[in-house]
Chain A
């Protein structure tokens, strides 16, 4: 095959428009793609100034560029040049990218131009840009919606808190007089009661106090659920707190002839919310008393393991079947068969206890077998600030 034919094949196989221009800017060579791209036939273009392929308003500037290039020839690769516009025979325009390479031969100075129609790429770029814009826009909208939702949630949470505060107040106000007047009647300062009257008055008083406990429990769990329960950590003597907790349940224990035992070895001060830890202890102790038949033994042990105080409250009571060892800490769970004959609570006590322990950064679990008693074990960091991050 002749060299020229092979060169021609190469030229025609190229995906871009390729042309050569002489020193005066006249087209002296072009391939098929050039014809297709610009809509001219080869004969229409050969010998024409290259400006015929360039929009009118750019002619003057292009001629200048050409002259400049003539004196400072250099290879300009695809993509490194300016984005230009081409014009077809029918006057329609399209974006192009051009690479140039100069050559000098016996026939004089020539420039080979390779022209790529970048319409597709521009459109792709444009689509991409639009998708990006749309995405950014949608992201901004979603963010705004989220912010709004957050504000609404905050507001709902605040309303819930306010509701809790006012409910608490409204429920306690009538209980105040029920508890107060029944206690007053029971004191017989207004005159003696007969045996039956005294018993009735004591029923009213006892159940009103129970109702108060239930209200406090419901309020506590609501506060915990609304993330409104704030711990107030302070350093205190753990042994003294156990003694105080035992004192508050001693009469209940004595009423059922339970023996109370302690084995405490907590030499360091503990930093926690004292009242809440007392609530935990009293709750576990009252449960132990409640679920242990008369004449039982209730034992509190506490020691230090590394950075934790480890506390156990054990009883010789009815015990808890293994399948309920997890669920007893759920809200409103009440141990099935074992609650028989036991005054009902809210089923919130252990749920509250668990949350309080966990909010301190500790954990709680139970070891128990039916009829063999139960041991509740909980840990408490010796220094436990509120583990939840502020403003969560």
Chain B
């Protein structure tokens, strides 16, 4: 059983991802903003983090910047989840250190495939 941390400021969004991942047999932890995501990551040491880019306060880019500075998270797979579909967003995310990129609305198949790819 892998530990997955899901950070999204929308509770419906978190519940969707949690349900899908729990059905796939993973243990899911939640954070409702960027600061909480950093705290929770340090506490549980997840095998995978799914970060909503767009969160009030510390956003996804802010979270990954902090986590990547810590040795414990230098190689943790982190997926960017975003509802923005502007050109160049994916490149920007990859440049910031994300290892995966999924746009909202998610297709469940795509989410499962990306998660399994990064946990393999």
Q: Is A172 close to B, CB under 8 A?
A: yes
Q: Across the interface, which residues of B come within 8 angstroms of A181, CB to CB?
A: 12, 16
Which residues of the other chain, B, contact A169 by a CB distance below 8 angstroms? 54, 83-84
Q: A230 on the interface (CB 8 Å rule)?
A: yes
Residue on A nearest B83 in the bound complex, by CB: A172
Binding site of B, secondary structure by majority: helix, strand, loop or mixed?
Answer: loop
B106 adjacent to chain A (CB < 8 Å) = yes
Q: How many Å from the CB of A80 to the closest CB on chain B?
A: 71
Instruction: Give A178 to B85 CA distance when docked, in angstroms.
Output: 18
Q: Which residues of B contact A173 (CB under 8 A)?
A: 10, 13, 83, 104
Is B38 close to A, CB under 8 A? no
> Does A151 make an interface contact (CB < 8 A)?
no
Contact of A177 among B16, B23, B87 (CB under 8 A): B16
Instruction: Write out the residue numbers on chain A whose beta carbons fall within 8 Å of the beta carbon of B108.
Output: 180, 183-184, 187
Contact pick for B23, options A176, A183, A189, A232, CB 8 Å = A189
Is A216 interfacial (CB-CB < 8 Å)? yes
Closest to A173 in B: B83
B105 in the interface (beta carbon within 8 A): yes
**Residues of A within 8 A of B (CB-CB), count:** 24
Least CB separation from B52: chain A residue = A173
Q: B residues touching A (Cβ–Cβ < 8 Å)? A: 10, 12-13, 16, 19-20, 23, 54, 83-87, 103-108
Identify 20 residue pairs between A and B in the complex whose beta-carbon atoms are under 8 Å apart, listed by A's number: A165-B84, A170-B83, A172-B103, A172-B105, A173-B83, A175-B104, A175-B105, A176-B83, A176-B105, A176-B106, A177-B12, A177-B105, A179-B105, A180-B16, A180-B20, A180-B106, A180-B108, A184-B19, A187-B108, A232-B87
